[in-house]
Structure 1
Amino acid sequence: TGDAQDIDVVGSKAYVVTKKNGSAGEFFILSLSNPVAPVQQGEYEVGDHVNAVAVSGNFAYLATSKSGEELVVVNISNPSSPTTAAIVDVPNVSQALDVDVSGSYVYFVTPSSTGGGEFYIYDISNPSDPIFKSGFELGSHVYGVYISGSRAYLSSSKVDKELVILDVSNPVSPAEIGSFNIPLAGANGQSIFYAGGVVHLTTRANGGGIAEYYLLEASDPENINLIGSYDVSDRTNGVEAGVGFSLLATEKADEELMIIDTSNPSTPQKVFSLDLEGDATGVALAECYAYFTSADDGEEVKVVAP
């Protein structure tokens, strides 16, 4: 298959997306009845790169690089035979880079656009008929989105705003309520995760001993503070956090998987790393298992257990 790009785990299923995969699919459904030995149940062909996936109920939302089909909604009620539920074409946009779902809305982000913005909200009360609610313009590429409550956390390429926080309580009129410029980091914001008032933000490779993983206190979006950082020494494509630790999907040779101890968030420390035989591209945490996607042809999904 093509290189895996992202993974979402819901219940006993893993949902994996890949780069363009010839005449085969780019969206796969895996059974996790035995979590350490996933079994493919179904696949779906988009015909282009699929960059991210978010699952809610019986539907998967795919952020794709297919022009005219930047967001694809797939009915997964029958895991062995996923089908198209809806396709969203965003004017002036060639691809969607990340996607998240919360309640009755899907949120996705795009590269810098000539009109309409890089952050979009659609009403999915009827997943087969997504309805445009609004777009928000940052004037830069937006690589990651994470929704928590009434706030959207975005990672961007904007020089002075690698983190942007939006109030999305009114879906037709999202408003910026906070931003943060990572000191010294010249690289773009990459992936993002939020929990317990803390934003976990990663960047592309910075070099020169400058970190690629940041913990930011953001419970007050108007007063965001840097808590701590860790120098991965290469691009970090994915992050997910648990209590006292975080998982990083990186491009660091021989250490593509990293586990970081964040019990003292001001001084995060690497406690474990693993060679995945290819760049790590995404990560999902479910119960006591970590699921990583990678560019390792033949083993695109890696399962890590304690």
Structure 2
Amino acid sequence: SNTEFYALNISNPQGSIAILGSVEINEDVTDIYVKDGYAYVATDDGSASQTGNEIRRINLSTYMVEDTGNLSDSAEAFAVWFQGSHIYAGTDSTSSEIQVLQSGGESGWDVPRIVETVDLPGSNDMNDIIISGDYAFAGRDTTAGQPEFIVFNISDPFNVTVAGSLEVGSDVNDLYMMGNYVYIATSDNNAEFQIINVTNKTAPTLTGIYNTSRTKDGLSVTGSGSVAYLGTEQDSGQTNNELFLINVSTLSSPTLYSSLEVGSNVIDLSNGSENLFIGTASPNQEVRTVDIANPATPSIVYTYNVTGSRIVNGILYDSSSKELHVTMTASGNNPNYVIFDVSNEVNFIELGGVVTTGDYNMHTLFVGFAGRTFVIAVTNDTGAEFKVIDTTVVESPFVRSSLDIGGDGMGVATTGSYMFVVGTADSQELIVITWGAPEVPEYARFGIYTSEEFSSDSDTTAWNTITWEQSGTGVIWFQTRTASSTGGTALATWMGPNGPGTYYSSTGSTIAISGDATGTRFMQFAAYLYGSGSATPILDSVTLDYSM
């Protein structure tokens, strides 16, 4: 059958051993580790350099491979261990013998957990966050005497620090990064669009501003090439536009390409493959497609009216799937998270949606984690503001899990397996969330340490006592064996105080010599360590006392 993985029922080891299930791997299975209903399998395809899927995760309820992992250096896997949310692989690589993989298993996000929070001075709300490399950039409401633009060092997600900041003097409502510059949408009536130089993360500086000549706040911002797109609050009148296309070819002095009348708050923006998608507060035209091929003459080429009177607060285009993910305010039994097929950007097809409690807030959507299986969103749903939405089947997405973050979530961004959320909680304006059970210490319950051979340099040696020092928690027992020549101990009988099969359990025990020992010049001991799994004994020293 060419089946390499089997699960066997050994409840009656002296009777029949039945096969519970099996999996065809098509490669040699070199090691297995089982935990929480899954088997983590190391494989070797027998070639000089394996090219992928060296680690597999098997669901032991269905006996199906649900996940695979690729090692670097074309390495083959020969050992595997899983703990918390990481897989540890022992390999044949000459440069990275031990490799650590992040388990992408769907079950991980069933238990999102907070691993770090940051409390900023003041009590004003955070509005949005973006990430680039080891740094996160966030904006907050105006705070007297405090900066509204914050740079966080997130190189260690468990120890996030403030790297730098800038006093803007107004609410920072949205951010978009382009190279070493961050575009921000603000409430400053004289500078709704601003450009911040973040080349020096510890000392960001203002590079340029654009004044829309209106008195409405900047709400949303994005960019592409030499054009920045700014969405603002609604400004009454057919000539008071809400979408601005700004020329940022000269960062120090951005100028207007053009503007467009939308007739509503432009709350969020997302770049499509050819057009710009905008989310608005218009109850009949919540989502629109804007033709931006010529930045001097943008035009609305498509509108979509979602069911119910809504405000769209989050909109994000996924270029890999050509889907548009939209979050909005709640409206009865109508979905407030919806997925659209926008392969034709002027003819949306609604694929699926889900009704969740509470409103989704501005800029609160992240799409594509774990191969577009999950969507991460934040809401004002008290006690469950952070939500993980499973979109494996786009026609029927569902909330896989949620988490209480102590206040409304206002923005979310990601790096690796960590989600960075900002919101309204005064004591934790920034929250770092990851998934999977905490990686509590876990040890093997049993292990054997076999010493090297020790020579007394005398054939008439009398071995007297074995003493040892130990720490930690657990039990350590010993056995010894002797021989007349080097290498001879390998054939000798292991002895305890009362012969073979017994063990020295008390330090200072008298050493017993086997009656069939070839001599006593060479000595070897074995230590047997027993722990609980959550704690381990530690062997600190061993002393073998002898006389000649």
TM range (shorter): over 0.9
Q: Secondary structure at the match of 1:291?
A: strand
1:191 equivalent in structure 2? 314
2:309 is matched by which residue type in structure 1? G
Matches within 5 A, 1:25-40: 25-40=147-162
2:163 equivalent in structure 1? 41
Indicate yes or no: 2:409 matched with 1:280.
yes
1:132 equivalent in structure 2? 256
Q: How far did residue 223 of structure 1 move? A: 1.9
1:225 is matched by which residue type in structure 2? I
Is the alpha carbon distance of 1:182 and 1:130 closer, same or farther for their aligned partners in structure 2, counting shifts above 3 Å?
same
Check whether the contact 1:23–1:47 (CA below 8 A) recurs between aligned residues: no
C-alpha distance in structure 2 between counterparts of 1:272 and 1:79, whole Å: 35
C-alpha distance in structure 1 between counterparts of 2:158 and 2:241, whole Å: 41
Indicate yes or no: 2:274 matched with 1:150.
yes
Which runs of 5 or more residues in structure 1 are unaligned?
none
C-alpha distance in structure 1 between counterparts of 2:141 and 2:177, whole Å: 18
1:245 equivalent in structure 2? 374
1:170 equivalent in structure 2? 294
C-alpha distance in structure 2 between counterparts of 1:75 and 1:244, whole Å: 35
Partner deviation per Cα, 1:38-96 (whole Å, 9 max, x = no partner): 21111111112111111111211111111111111111111111111112110224210
Identity over aligned residues, as a percent? 26
Check whether the contact 1:211–1:233 (CA below 8 A) recurs between aligned residues: no
1:223 equivalent in structure 2? 347
- Greater Rg, structure 1 or structure 2? 2
1:161 equivalent in structure 2? 285
C-alpha distance in structure 1 between counterparts of 2:276 and 2:392, whole Å: 25
C-alpha distance in structure 2 between counterparts of 1:241 and 1:4, whole Å: 21
C-alpha distance in structure 2 between counterparts of 1:223 and 1:62, whole Å: 31
TM-score (structure 2 length as normaliser): 0.54
1:204 equivalent in structure 2? 329
C-alpha distance in structure 1 between counterparts of 2:394 and 2:242, whole Å: 31
Q: How far did residue 213 of structure 1 move? A: 0.8
1:24 is matched by which residue type in structure 2? Q
2:500 equivalent in structure 1? none
C-alpha distance in structure 2 between counterparts of 1:303 and 1:27, whole Å: 18
1:205 is matched by which residue type in structure 2? A
Aligned with 2:196 (options 59, 70, 74): 74
Which runs of 5 or more residues in structure 2 are unaligned?
1-121, 436-548
Q: Secondary structure at the match of 2:207?
A: strand
255-264 vs 97-106, greater mean Cα deviation: 97-106
C-alpha distance in structure 2 between counterparts of 1:192 and 1:186, whole Å: 17
C-alpha distance in structure 2 between counterparts of 1:150 and 1:174, whole Å: 12
292-301 vs 253-262, greater mean Cα deviation: 292-301
Partner deviation per Cα, 1:202-256 (whole Å, 9 max, x = no partner): 11232x2222111111111232111111112211011111111101110001010
2:404 is matched by which residue type in structure 1? D
Is the alpha carbon distance of 1:100 and 1:64 closer, same or farther for their aligned partners in structure 2, counting shifts above 3 Å?
same
Check whether the contact 2:340–2:352 (CA below 8 A) recurs between aligned residues: yes
Q: How far did residue 153 of structure 1 move? A: 0.7
Indicate yes or no: 2:220 matched with 1:98.
yes
2:427 is matched by which residue type in structure 1? G
Matches within 5 A, 1:106-117: 106-114=228-236, 115-117=239-241
1:261 equivalent in structure 2? 390
1:65 equivalent in structure 2? 187
C-alpha distance in structure 2 between counterparts of 1:287 and 1:172, whole Å: 38
Check whether the contact 2:189–2:213 (CA below 8 A) recurs between aligned residues: no
C-alpha distance in structure 2 between counterparts of 1:178 and 1:214, whole Å: 17
Q: How far did residue 36 of structure 1 move? A: 3.2
Indicate yes or no: 2:244 matched with 1:120.
yes
Q: Secondary structure at the match of 1:97?
A: strand
Q: Secondary structure at the match of 2:278?
A: strand
1:26 is matched by which residue type in structure 2? E
Paired positions, count: 304
Check whether the contact 2:125–2:425 (CA below 8 A) recurs between aligned residues: yes
1:50 equivalent in structure 2? 172
Check whether the contact 1:123–1:133 (CA below 8 A) recurs between aligned residues: yes
2:290 is matched by which residue type in structure 1? L
Q: Please tell me the root mean square deviation across aligned C-alpha atoms, in Å.
A: 1.3
C-alpha distance in structure 2 between counterparts of 1:298 and 1:120, whole Å: 36
